[in-house]
Amino acid sequence: MILEMKVPSPGESITEVEIAEWLVEDGDYVEKDQAIAEVDSDKATLELPAEASGVITLKAEVGDAVEVGAIVCLIDTGAEKPEGSDEKSNEATEKETAPVQKEAEKAPQPVQAKETYASGVASPAAKKILDEKGVDSATVKGSGRDGRITKEDAVNAVPSMGTPTGGNRGETRSKLSMLRRKVAERLVSAKNETAMLTTFNEVDMSAIFELRDQYKVDFKNKHGVGLGFMSFFTKAVVRALEMYPAVNSMIDGKEMISYDFCDISIAVSGPKGLMVPVIRNAENLTFRGIESEVKRLAIRAREGEITVDEMTGGTFTITNGGVFGSMLSTPIINPPQSAILGMHNIVERPIAREGAIAIAPIMYVALSYDHRIIDGKESVGFLVAVKEALENPTELLMDNNVKKALEM
């Protein structure tokens, strides 16, 4: 029996995927549920498992864009696993390469183009492309008649990388995944289609350090998750969003949509690039609930198990460049959201406290926002509200009852 394997739908609004990599070869025997391919959508990279055991016949190439529901391979479920398949594949490879080598030996050598007044002269279209690239036409070998530089030659021309000074100067090219291309498009779109501004502030993290030092062991023993910074920041953001609802809004054509819930997107670095899973209804979660959800989503993202639904939506984003050592940055808005908070590394710095110089753990924070719907007063007020909550978490985030807030 021949089983036709079709591309499953990764999620709503996704109509096609791209074959990122075949994990098996044509003619291989595969087991049911074995991962046979990785496919890219514009939101995530997913594994495609075999629906049955048998010999596989591939119907799509790496890099092909395939519509959801299209056939990508056939599995002969009645076939038995061939013996000595590895030896046969080696013999086949040798037989295939031999004729290629013979043909290469017989291939005629290119005829040297004669030198004329047209040699090295670029056509008008080619000249325009070379000028845009900053490439000197004298460095381009023309493939046109009598050595004339064609438009194709100009398109393929690579700008000079400077005068070689010795050493390895190789380069590699690799196709961007559909996910990476979509991320690039969204980032450029956010820069071009929003009136994006960034405001900065600094946070004295001393109070949070003291709370974590006092309760993190008991918190971990009781709840099975660590008491990290993300729960404090999420709580502070939720409080600030309730105070400044315009920051929790989006533009839809000529209308502004404001949300009475807080779905917080958190940026997570995964093996396939940046993932932004969503903590749903963060306003209803406790410190334990937030930390558990952050841990769950981060593990799923890093193991490539995150689903499109888990990354869809979100009304506000938190990104933490501090885990990589970033001191300060201007994060790019995650469209269609209107604002994003950037966390950074924590460094001990001298500050003025009650008229004296003290050393404190300081974090710089940045809020990028869409000025079309968020005014300066709201953006600055929002960031100040976040700062106040983080510097006084016992009163503003825990209602002066730390043990109850941490469910100790």
Tell me how far apart the alpha carbons of residues 133 and 353 are, in angstroms, rounded to a whole number: 55
Query: Is 223 known to be catalytic?
Result: no
Choosing from 136, 213, 218, 375, which is the catalytic residue?
A: 375
Q: Before 336, cis peptide (omega within 30)?
A: yes
Phi, psi angle pair for 239, to nearest 5°: -60, -45
How far is C-alpha 230 from the geometric centre of its chain's CA atoms? 20
As to burial, measured by CB atoms within 10 angstroms (0-12 exposed, 13-18 middle, 19+ buried), residue 147 is middle
By DSSP bridging, strand 65-67 and strand 268-270 are unpaired
As to burial, measured by CB atoms within 10 angstroms (0-12 exposed, 13-18 middle, 19+ buried), residue 250 is middle
Residues 6+ apart with CB under 8 A from 363: 202, 203, 205, 322, 343, 344, 345, 346, 347
DSSP helix/strand/coil, 168: coil
Give the residue ranges of DSSP H helices in 63-141: 85-106, 124-133
Choosing from 136, 213, 218, 371, which is the catalytic residue?
A: 371
The residue ranges of DSSP E strands in 335-383, in sequence order, are 339-343, 346-353, 356-370
Query: Is 371 known to be catalytic?
Result: yes
By DSSP bridging, strand 316-320 and strand 346-353 are unpaired
Tell me how crowded residue 275 is: count the other CB atoms within 10 A of its CB. Answer: 26
As to burial, measured by CB atoms within 10 angstroms (0-12 exposed, 13-18 middle, 19+ buried), residue 138 is exposed
Scanning the structure block, which residue is given the tokens 């998750």? 225
Instruction: Please name the amino acid found at residue 285.
Output: L
Residues marked active site are found at 371, 375
